[in-house]
Structure 1
């Protein structure tokens, strides 16, 4: 079975797409020993400095669980350890697991993780191969080469090595992401709301697609200044943000070019989008033509009638 996640076509994977990847990896890659690896592009490895140290750190470990933080994937690594045997009560030694650090992955723009048979020909743009028991491989494929991998030693917390984690705001579905928190982030900011929603320091994982969708459902124009939003508007934006993220997770994300879930199913949210990628088409609510404008180097899609 091939686990394939491809992101391209100008879009960047956001929380729902990365969450879909995480769930697929947890279904397929857990508790299987990493027996070795190969790095085909050295700069893909963000830590350690030496590729040999990266591969040595992963060797003979197994993935206990994949986690997601914002748009980062973090694999919790463990290693078998022989339990101490008491001389007073001689019994067969049992195996336990000990922490063995973490494997961090950021897909950036075009990263793929492929879970494949080792006999499958190596795909073009393959950057890293990890060899698992049972003749399986986890391959990192990245056409644009912006993606990164980290090995975090067991005596470090991931945030100490993957420094981008330090700047992330709360997760959207966490207790820390409350309406009051959201309002406090906006009420004194003199910047457009669309730009603020893309700030990972305010909320982790939200990006261009779902910011556009949440603003549409809230009836807020993307150029509206944060400081002009009322508490009720922010409350509505908070709920619509959670709604569009959950809807997309349920639909296995958005297909940018050739996105497949672990079962080989396309991400389905794109066909349900209200405004994202629909410039020139009619609004699903009022029939007004959807427009697009550039804001801080990113596209903003909106309905001029429904959002004002």
Structure 2
């Protein structure tokens, strides 16, 4: 699933190319992917509108139109938004096509059709619960060490599960949660509320570090993710633990372990991220 870095990479590319463009027509090939309003009304809200900018909130892409409207895309597992310069879709899984006034085409494709698409009027974000209730994002002014410590206080869930709670922190998914916990040297099953003040500072810094690195490297691609140009990211070449089970830790050489934590596949180094019964671990530098 595209996480904050992948969504931000898409946003930056599309914002550069879509600002000021007018949507001349919309073709909906799979109506059920539009969750609000009905497909006919969706086309009516989008067609003829000028794109003011492309924004993002967590993992949601927000195409801001005139008159306060916005097109919202939650790409989820296999969704993608690609700008086709020739105005022709090459995606066999294209679900919605937006023709633009300069002859280009914005294509929403989704292999497994798990993504969600909306058209909202001003003030209607409440219709998308995940968007309306989202917590502060990494790298933002609101995501302070103080906020992070207060959010962790008294929480008995695993720290890995906590990091994936979008109501607490917006935009972190499985990849970057595993990477941040590795850099901070924290065992994924630790109770969130058990972290010391120092550990909170290290994890806060690690979260910001891995998110910034993911954006810098164009996102992480293992299979489906593509940026706004339809290209793969390359952050997967620099990951410490995610998707590296059985391979040697880049810090200490210990084989990376994969377990299920909170229903999610979780990767960690048992030496650098020791569990409660281990005494031989340490914290990888942040």
TM-score normalized with structure 1 length: 0.85
Matched residue, 1:66 = 54
Alpha carbons 1:104, 1:162 under 8 Å: kept? no
Q: SS state of the match for residue 154, structure 2?
A: coil
Matched residue, 2:75 = 107
CA distance in 1, matches of 2:140, 2:82: 29
Matched residue, 1:127 = 95
Q: After superposition, what is the alpha-carbon deviation per residue over 1:7-32, rounded to whole angstroms, capped at 9, x for unaligned?
A: xxxxx110000000001101212211
Q: Alignment partner for residue 253 of structure 1, among 212, 219, 222?
A: 219
CA distance in 2, matches of 1:14, 1:113: 14
Alpha carbons 1:44, 1:149 under 8 Å: kept? yes
Alpha carbons 1:170, 1:177 under 8 Å: kept? yes
CA distance in 1, matches of 2:89, 2:215: 31
CA distance in 2, matches of 1:285, 1:121: 44
CA RMSD of aligned residues (A): 1.6
**How far apart are 1:101 and its partner, in Å?**
0.9
CA distance in 2, matches of 1:262, 1:28: 10
Matched residue, 2:250 = 284
Q: After superposition, what is the alpha-carbon deviation per residue over 1:229-274, rounded to whole angstroms, capped at 9, x for unaligned?
A: 1011011100010001001111111112254445665312111111
**How far apart are 1:163 and its partner, in Å?**
3.0
Alpha carbons 1:111, 1:141 under 8 Å: kept? yes
CA distance in 2, matches of 1:14, 1:119: 28
CA distance in 2, matches of 1:218, 1:114: 35
Q: SS state of the match for residue 69, structure 2?
A: strand
Q: Alignment partner for residue 118 of structure 2, among 150, 153, 177?
A: 150
**How far apart are 1:161 and its partner, in Å?**
3.1
Matched residue, 1:25 = 14
Q: Alignment partner for residue 64 of structure 2, among 33, 57, 76?
A: 76
Q: Alignment partner for residue 139 of structure 1, among 86, 93, 107?
A: 107
Gapped regions of structure 2 (runs ≥ 5): 275-286
Q: Does 1:232 align with 2:228?
A: no
Equivalenced residue count is: 274
Matched residue, 1:172 = 138
Alpha carbons 2:80, 2:226 under 8 Å: kept? no
CA distance in 1, matches of 2:212, 2:57: 16
Rg comparison, structure with higher value = 1
Q: SS state of the match for residue 259, structure 2?
A: strand
Q: After superposition, what is the alpha-carbon deviation per residue over 1:125-160, rounded to whole angstroms, capped at 9, x for unaligned?
A: 21111111122211111111111111112xx32423
Could you tell which deviates more after superposition, 159-168 or 176-185?
159-168
CA distance in 2, matches of 1:123, 1:173: 33
Gapped regions of structure 1 (runs ≥ 5): 1-11, 79-98
